[in-house]
Chain A
Amino acid sequence: MSASITLPEHPAATRIAGLGHFRPERVVTNDELAKTIDTNDEWIRTRVGIAERHFAAESDTVASMGAAAGRLAIADAGLTSADIDLVIVATCTLPTPIPHAATKVASLLDIQAPGAFDINAACAGFCYGLSTASALIRAGEARNVLLVGSEKLTDWIDPADRANAIIFADGAAAVVVTGAETAEIGPVAWGCAIDHTETIYIKDRESFIYQEGQTVFRWATSAIAPVAIEAARRAGVELSDIDVFASHQANLRIVESIAKKLIAAGASPDITIAKDIVTTGNTSSASIPIALDRMRQAGEVRSGDLVLAVGFGAGLTFGSQVFRCP
């Protein structure tokens, strides 16, 4: 009875050390969709702000796209597969519940026997995963976490559904989270709207994604800005300190509405706003890191920039935090 349990050494804080993304090769324009659905380019651009998106090939899977993004993130961090001791995949679009994607990502990247699990917080998955990864490192349970957001939404979309087929797309992105002396990842502000659990759903295994668009739009344009503001408050930074607003790319009008509220609350009118949905579509848990990596590649975002990220979606679930761009 005298033995005491020892807890591991752990770093005081965490940072994102590397970032990478994968968009499938096939680009699908609005005009292409309009050949089979009753829609048109102007309507799609006005309603959701999308010009084109990427659809996965038959051979692209949640795991294969996630691994492609993960490989780039690990290299960007200056690490190798041998350094990764935990793989987390945020996804809500696996074709079957088991096996989960994280072990397959680890296998594809030859990461030897890491901890490996998936999380499903729908379109908030990246922010939930970042909080989980950061907390586990600060507890000493992991050293270098590969966090992947990967979605093959086209597996769960009715191609004839003019409301959803124009919005959702496929893709993946990944970050490597590691220990740090000073905090570069802030605390999460998260939660869910328990009176809206049945507004975005897949009814059964024969069904596709359905959403009550107007209800979700109203919720996103009114409830999400306060969550992002709370994340900045918890991180102890002023909204005016934020360089980049990286919202989940749900709908350009939602992104712009939230950004407008943040600016009204004190964010700089010159804040860089992620609008990657225009050429990537809505890729759920992958959308925030895809947007960030593409903005970094384009020179719109620089390493060290302070990013305010907010994810929100089915559940309805939301999560937000401040972090520095790697």
Chain B
Amino acid sequence: MSNEDILAGLGEIVEEVAGVPAADVTADKSFTDDLDIDSLSMVEIAVQAEDKFGVKIPDDELANLKTVQDAVSYIERNKA
């Protein structure tokens, strides 16, 4: 799975959980500041990303995923 695929998959999850259009979920965006996603939605996004990409995203790691690129890189490094 390429980074583009991960980004696209993440975009679908963000759209479903937070109602942000998937097209707006680009690498440089900050989840909190640009996409207006709060910590509880981030947990839901993490749970769905775990299922979709076969990764574990514990709460302490989740706290470090500030931007969409952070999440894509983390999933890329840790996916099954």
Contact = CB atoms under 8 A, between A and B. Distances in A.
A6 B50 CA distance: 55
Contact of B47 (A46, A47, A218): A218
A217 B59 CA distance: 11
A221 B38 contact: no
Interface residues of A, number: 10
Contacts of B44: 221, 257
A46 B46 CA distance: 19
Interface in B1-50: 38-40, 43-44, 46-47
Contacts of A215: 59
B39 to A, nearest CB: 7
Nearest to B42: A214
* Highest count of chain A CB atoms <10 Å: which of B39, B40, B46: B40
Contacts of B43: 214, 217-218, 221
Interface of A: 46-47, 214-215, 217-218, 221-222, 253, 257
Interface in B26-80: 38-40, 43-44, 46-47, 59
B59 A214 contact: yes
Nearest to A215: B59
Nearest to B46: A218
A222 B59 contact: no
A222 B47 contact: yes
Chain A CB within 10 Å, residue with most, of B39, B43, B44, B59: B43
Given A214-B59, A215-B59, A218-B59, A253 B47 contact: no
Contacts of B59: 214-215, 218
A19 to B, nearest CB: 32
A221 B40 CA distance: 10
A164 to B, nearest CB: 15
Nearest to A47: B40
B61 to A, nearest CB: 12
A253 B47 CA distance: 14
B16 to A, nearest CB: 9
Given A214-B43, A257-B44, 4 more contacts: A214-B40, A215-B59, A218-B43, A218-B47
A56 B59 CA distance: 35
Contact of B39 (A214, A221, A222, A257): A214
B60 to A, nearest CB: 10
Contacts of A218: 43, 46-47, 59
A218 B60 CA distance: 13
